[in-house]
Chains A and B, each alone.
Chain A
């Protein structure tokens, strides 16, 4: 089965630094998502992206966050001026495009802000 690929698997950064988390969605998919999961908590929606623009975003996705699809394959999440509470597992997901099709998730990037 095709996979969503995320890099790096682990990222350690200092508070206040900027990080970019990278994702390669499945090649023919049209909708892309970022979720995060703080240790021991539920999976939280951050943002969805379609046709080179944000479709929906949650209240978590403030000005500190941005997403980009810089080329035909990558989908990135940038976190500016990281805070301790940004430490979490970040999941990228994609889906083909039909209305009720399932999400395919990557294995995640574990971000640790020190």
Chain B
């Protein structure tokens, strides 16, 4: 199971773009990269998933370089409500998703 490394915390200001990078040096050929968001006292919520290159949806973009050893979650123009913990998950065994320690994003006014 590919281990992931993320920054423990990040600060940003409202309206800025935030990029959170996750390292997964041991990613396997069949592994997907998935990001979840968690607010206090709530269950994690799916943000985005990708395998390679770039994926974009209505809330975020995910950039994955060719070697797939890292990925970057990009949140455009964050607001105070984006303050949360963001988790990067890597794997292909969808019977057991393991969460890492996550990145605590603090958005300031």
Tally A residues with Cβ within 8 Å of B: 28
Tally B residues with Cβ within 8 Å of A: 23
Assess whether B41 is in contact with A89, with CB atoms less than 8 Å apart: yes
Assess whether A108 is in contact with B41, with CB atoms less than 8 Å apart: yes
- If A43-B38, A102-B49 touch, does A58 touch B44 (CB 8 Å cutoff)? no
Q: Does B13 contact A (CB under 8 A)?
A: no
Assess whether A58 is in contact with B46, with CB atoms less than 8 Å apart: no
Provide the residues of chain A in CB contact with B96, threshold 8 Å: 45, 48, 55-56, 58
Q: Does A103 contact B (CB under 8 A)?
A: yes
Question: Chain A's interface: helix, strand, loop or mixed, by majority?
Answer: strand
The answer for the CA separation of A91 and B87 in the assembled complex, in Å, is 16
Q: Closest CB of chain B to A46's CB: distance in Å?
A: 10
Question: Which A positions have Cβ atoms within 8 angstroms of B?
Answer: 4, 31, 33, 35, 42-45, 48, 50, 55-56, 58, 89, 91, 93, 95, 99-108, 110
